[in-house]
Amino acid sequence: MAARKKATSSPVSAVAKLEAELASLKAQLEKARSGQEAEAKKEADKLSKDADAAAKKAAAAQAKVKAARAKKKSAAQQKQVKAAQEASAAAKKLAAAAKAAANDAKAKLAAISADNKLMAKVAKAVAKEEAAITKKLTAAEKKKAAAEKKKATAAAKKKAAAEKKAAAAAKKKAAAAAKKKAAAAKKKASAAAKKKAAAEKKKAAVAKKKAAEKAKKAAVKAKTAAKKKPGRPKKAEAGAAAPAAKKPGRPAKSGAAKKKPGRPPKAGAAKKAPARRGRPPKAPAQG
């Protein structure tokens, strides 16, 4: 009787043990699935935030373009407007790339969620079918059913582990590719903007230098033209004519003769000789 009782209770305990293992496996699968969804959602939120930030930058650049267009008065301001437009276009491209990466991450998250739901549905259907079969089986058939159940559980566990590993690898690869693509796009846009800004700055500096030199030359030319009076003879000719008209042995009348003895004459005193317009300089008075 004891042997009969033992034979009857052994398959039941084995079934209970297998059911406990199945429940543990389901709990582990649910935990892994929730963790995977949370991680994917976190990454999608991050990419979405990056996309929003890039969109804000693009909007700011567009506002700068509009402001520059409103103040467009000179060629330099037109160049600034063009540079701002190019920066806005680069920011828009960067925002589009970030938005595409975020949408890709969201699509992958939705696919993972759908796969998880399908796996849960299949596991639930399998459990329901196994429960129905277990109820119909007799005590002798329960042992065989337990072995098949164990085998099916092991296969399901192995398959779930393989799918989880494949999903994790695909997710990691997709995230790395999206990150690399976004970084490359950002680096390319930044390098192009920097190169363009440097070229514009160099061009503006050259134009400014040329304008300054032109203005300096014009100022010197105007100053020289203002100094020359019409009809005034050249200084060399005036200086050559003056000594010929003087009496020999008599000093010429100048401001230097009226100064105190011992004080040197001022520089440029000889250049300030009076001259009338259109007439040669007067000869010094005869003694």
pLDDT digits (tens, 9 = 90+) for 43-79: 767 766 776 776 677 677 777 767 766 665 566 667 7
pLDDT at 128 over 50: yes
118 pLDDT band, cuts 50/70/90, is confident
Q: Which of 230, 248, 247, 258 is nearest to 284 (CA)?
A: 247
- The average pLDDT across 160-171 equals 92
The b/e string for 244-271 (b: 16+ C-beta within 10 A; e otherwise) is eebeeeeeeeeeeeeeeeeeeeeeeebe
pTM for the model stands at 0.24
Query: Who wins on pLDDT, 28 or 166?
Result: 166
Please state, as a whole number, how many other Cβ atoms lie within 10 Å of the Cβ of residue 167. 19
Structure confidence at residue 3 (pLDDT)? 46
Q: Does residue 99 register a pLDDT over 50?
A: yes
* 12 or 7, higher pLDDT: 12
Is residue 239 scored above 60 in pLDDT? no
Which of 68-82, 101-115, 156-170, 199-213 has the weakest average pLDDT? 68-82
Q: Give the pLDDT confidence of 191-237 residue by residue, as tens digits.
A: 999 999 999 999 999 999 999 999 999 999 898 888 876 655 555 54
Give me the chain's average pLDDT, please. 74
What average pLDDT does this structure show over 270-276?
57
Which of these ranges, 175-179, 199-203, 252-256, has the smallest mean pLDDT?
Answer: 252-256
Residues of the chain with pLDDT > 70, as a percent, come to 56
pLDDT computed for residue 4 by the predictor: 47
